[in-house]
Amino acid sequence: MKRAIPAVVSAATALALVLAGCSGEDEPVDPNAPVTITLAGWSLSSTPEFKTLADGFKASHPNVTVELKEYDTANYDTQMTADLAAGTAPDVYVQKNLKNFYTYSSGGQLLDVSDAAADLGSVSALASYQVDGKMYAIPYRQDSWVLYYNKELFAKAKVPPPDGTWTWDDYVAAAKQLSTGLKAAGSNASGAYQHIFQSTVQGLALAQTPGADLLSGNFDYLKPYYQRSLDLQAAGAQPSFGTANTNKLTYQAQFGKQQSAMMVMGTWYIATLLNQRRSGDADTFEWGIAPAPQFDTSTTGTSATPVTFGDPTGLGINPRIDKSKVAAAKAFVGYAASEDAAKALAGIGITPARVTEAVSATLFGLDGVPQDDVSKFAYATHMIKPENPVSKHTAGLQNILNETHSAILSDSKGLDEAINEAQTRAKNEVLNQ
């Protein structure tokens, strides 16, 4: 960050000179004049990352105020697209994942931030936002999907906890054993919980299956992952997709209120769980994380590198931003990827895009974060593959596959029928257009 600030300040000074020349003034605009920029966020009361970034930036840039604008989590991209079209979007907005990045960048909805990224070095996922040699967003978070488990429920069910060597077959067996053991112990908790997100099945299948390629339009790689989910539903080892939808189950309550013994979810949930334990919205119990179950044993164990998935989360600048605010906005998105910001994010349980030993130590120094070796290994060691490869076809294909996800897990269509239909639609509606 110390090396990045001069570049941004230099850009701000140059911009001030340009603005002064355009306005006919003899003196450049003061780069230290008070500036207010707006930043998009969601679930502000329970998601502290946005305020953390705003406050951290304010500490080093006292002349800049970052105001937060809240969006609905589930409909973020829909609402943002509408605001961008109407000219009411905030100055800086979040690229929640890579699904719609191509749409935003190719549609001229993101400012070139190459200068702000120039001195950031090898920040994880920086290349994901590069198009034709230019950067259109900067990552500040890089989550990965891991297995959360309740150590106390495992002990109650007398099932050995995950040790970092699990394949999906091990996971399925444990889920069934947990359900049986917990019932015998008088608990109503299920062995596992799979949330309704398509990511819970499709993200892992795409990342872990050799040769899998979303953009090929061949989705056969999804079949064994869905078959396992259907098997667990039928066995009663996890709530069904229909139950989760009808009863509006949340993954936070299922795990945090000890309704399920284990759950695959992104590392962002660490911050949420810590906050909910403090507020009483989650119970206090011993928990841990382990690598997501693997495709086969070639990527299991502490001597191997587990394969998982997770899109980066980045910040981009609205090209309609007032020119007098551009330098401040670029300084802010650059700060968000700095080590100072990374430590601040880790300090609230968020996994930043820049992870160093110091950053990991900060996160594991938090009260309530598990201290066992498997948890530390799962957090720090993995190969992360993107859920959404950047392409003009990605959003269309993912929309089709989201419908496929619901059709399969709700049993409204057979597995083979649903996959075949998705492949036909992908070819006719997306890939050949």
pLDDT 10s digits, 384-400: 999 999 999 999 999 99
The pLDDT assigned to 29 comes to 54
With a cut of 90, say whether residue 4 has pLDDT above it: no
Using an 8 Å Cβ cutoff, are 311 and 98 in contact?
yes
Using an 8 Å Cβ cutoff, are 348 and 271 in contact?
yes
The pLDDT assigned to 141 comes to 95
Name the percent of the chain lying above pLDDT 90. 85
pLDDT 10s digits, 147-179: 999 999 999 999 999 999 999 999 999 999 999
Q: How many CB atoms lie under 10 A from the CB of residue 106?
A: 12
Retrieve residue 371's tokens.
């201290």
Under the banding of pLDDT at 50, 70 and 90, the label for residue 31 is: low
Provide the 3-class DSSP secondary structure of residue 174.
helix
Q: Which residues contact 330 (CB under 8 A, 6 or more apart)?
A: 8, 11, 12, 113, 115, 116, 317
Rounded-to-integer distance, Cα 15 and Cα 108, Å: 21
Using an 8 Å Cβ cutoff, are 243 and 424 in contact?
no
With a cut of 60, say whether residue 36 has pLDDT above it: yes
Rounded-to-integer distance, Cα 151 and Cα 157, Å: 10
Name the percent of the chain lying above pLDDT 70. 93
What residues does 150 pair with on adjacent strands? 287
Rounded-to-integer distance, Cα 40 and Cα 68, Å: 6
The pLDDT assigned to 185 comes to 97
pLDDT 10s digits, 229-255: 999 999 999 999 999 999 999 999 999
First to last CA, the chain: 44
What phi and psi, each to the nearest 5 degrees, are found at residue 354? -100, 105
Under the banding of pLDDT at 50, 70 and 90, the label for residue 142 is: very high
> Taking residues 326-355, what's their average pLDDT?
94
What residues does 42 pair with on adjacent strands? 71
- Which residue is it, tokens 């951290």? 56
Rounded-to-integer distance, Cα 13 and Cα 21, Å: 12
Using an 8 Å Cβ cutoff, are 375 and 289 in contact?
yes
The pLDDT assigned to 1 comes to 28
- Which residue is it, tokens 């605010």? 325
The pLDDT assigned to 24 comes to 39
The pLDDT assigned to 30 comes to 67
pLDDT 10s digits, 38-58: 999 998 887 889 999 999 999
pLDDT 10s digits, 196-226: 999 999 999 999 999 999 999 999 999 999 9
The mean pLDDT value of the chain amounts to 91
pLDDT 10s digits, 343-367: 999 999 999 998 888 889 999 999 9
- Which residue is it, tokens 């690229």? 95
> Taking residues 306-320, what's their average pLDDT?
97
Rounded-to-integer distance, Cα 375 and Cα 288, Å: 6
pLDDT 10s digits, 50-93: 999 999 999 999 999 999 999 999 899 999 999 999 999 999 99
The pLDDT assigned to 49 comes to 93
pLDDT 10s digits, 87-132: 999 999 999 999 999 999 999 999 999 999 988 877 778 889 999 9
